[in-house]
Structures are given as structure tokens and as C-alpha cells.
Amino acid sequence: MAKSSRPRLKDLRAIYLLTGECCELGADPVAWRTHVVEQVPTLFHGQLGLLMEVELAAEPFESLFWVRPRMLADFGWATESDRKPFEAHIQSGKPEEGPHITPDLLDRRAQVFHWRGDLGTAAWHETFFYNEYVKKCHLDDGLFAHSQVGDGQFRWLFVNSGCDGRPFSRRERTMMKLLNGELARLQTDSRLSELGAPSVAKLSPRLRDVLTCLMEGASEKETAAHLGISVYTVHDHVKALYKRFDVASRGELLAICRTLWPALEKLKASDH
């Protein structure tokens, strides 16, 4: 008897736990997307998580580089050299080399594609995309989720198994469909911020330290003493924060960054 494609209760709990964590980080557009990428390999018992947000840059399928990446986050490469074939695919400017990128895809608000499941294992292993890129990355099966996030803008989420990993199941395909739908719903409800919103993800560790002190109510002098640096250095960092967030005062800075505190805490934990 074929295994059911219905998610189990623990699968549903894991999906909603992940989306809840994303909502906690949701004010920071980079932090919540990065968190998805870091967690999907565990959720799906895979190796690699990858998220791209792209926008149309030319007539689809008519020229090279007809999509332009707006953001790319990935997590789980076994080695840095395994990432090189993926970079070659991006640099080819031909996303349609992947069997999951089809003309009808762009007309859909959401779609999930399973490389082995939808093509069949033998057919998948005969594709140019598998042999030229995926196999050289030491990966094999993959789940791909497409979501339209704006006019001519799309989010593409992947989870991949290693070359010695098991193929994904029909149940996991259903789980990806559910996760994709929940992320889209939360974006529509503005609980997950869009790209371009303020973010602390690209701040240096030192700037994050200074911002944390300011948000905890410390003066520049107290911040300098706590971090073991000069007041002049702290002042320079504060000016850099003002410039980064396009503000003119500490009050404006803290008003913007108040909702980014969960993302700042998560990043600081990884710094130390």
C-alpha cells in the first residue's frame, strides 16, 4: 500500500512552529528569509535549503538573464566547491534549464515541483540540468516551491537531498505546498516584511553591538565602556547607524529598530 501523502500531526506542528518563528523575525526581511533557509533542511530531512527572490528583467524565455535576483540565501552546502556548479547555473542566465521553470509557472500564484516525483527518477537523471549542475553539486532530489510575491516578482524556495540521501516523499511534497502557502499568506497579511524594509542582517558585528547597547538605553559613554572601545569610535559607529537607517536622531533610530530586536538577538547569538 502506498504511503499517504497527508502530513502527520508532528509535520503540521513543525511547519507552524517554523512560520511562527518567521513571524517573530518578520520585521526584518533578510532575517526571516534566512531563517527559512536554515530550517527547511531539518524539516524535510534534506541537506540544502535555498531561497531566491527574483523579478522579471526581460521577456521570459526570450533572452538571457530574463530574471534578476533580488535576494539569494542558501544553507547546507557540504563544501564550498560544491556550490560552484550552482553559481555557474546562475551565471548562465538561463533559469529555464531547470525542469521546474516552465512558461505556465509564471502565470501561477503558487506551484510545487518535485524533481524525482514529477519527472520520474530515470527521466530526472537524464536531464541536462541534473547532469550539468545538480550532480556536480553532489545533490540529487529536490522540492521546488514557487510563489508570486508581486507584479513580476517571485519567491523560489528549494530543499535538496544529498547524492546519497533518500528521495522526498509525497507527504513531504504536500508539506512544501503547505509551507509555501503559509509564507505567502503571512506576507499578504504584512506579518512578513517585503525586501527593501529596514534590516539589521547586513550590519557588522560591531555595529550590532553598538545598536544593542543603544536599544538597552546606554549612552555613548556607557556603550564605549561596555565594549572596551573609545567614545569617539562609538560616536562614529552611531553616525554609521544613522546613515544606514536614514535617520537623524537616536529616537528615530530606536523607533525603526524596535521591531528588529528579535532579529538582532538572533544575529548576536551567532556572533558569539
Longest dimension (CA), the chain: 71
Average pLDDT for residues 235-256, to the nearest whole number?
A: 97
Three-state secondary-structure class, residue 242: helix
Half-sphere exposure of 186 (CA within 13 A, CB side): 23
Alpha-carbon distance of 159 to 115, in angstroms, equals 11
Predicted confidence at residue 1, as pLDDT, reads 45
Average pLDDT for residues 224-238, to the nearest whole number?
A: 98
84: which residues sit within 8 A by CB, 6+ positions away? 136
Tens digits of per-residue pLDDT, 100-155?
Answer: 999 999 999 999 999 999 999 999 999 999 999 999 999 999 999 999 999 999 99
| Whether pLDDT at 168 is above 70 | yes
Q: How far apart are the first and last CA of the chain?
A: 50
Regarding the domain with residue range 9-188, which homologous superfamily does it belong to in the CATH classification? Transcription factor LuxR-like, autoinducer-binding domain (3.30.450.80)
Alpha-carbon distance of 172 to 97, in angstroms, equals 24
Q: Where in the chain is the domain with CATH 3.30.450.80?
A: 9-188
Tens digits of per-residue pLDDT, 3-39?
Answer: 778 999 999 999 999 999 999 999 999 999 999 999 9
**Amino acid at position 3, single letter:** K
CATH 1.10.10.10 fits 205-271, yes or no: yes
Alpha-carbon distance of 158 to 51, in angstroms, equals 6
Q: Where in the chain is the domain with CATH 1.10.10.10?
A: 205-271
Read off the pTM.
Answer: 0.94
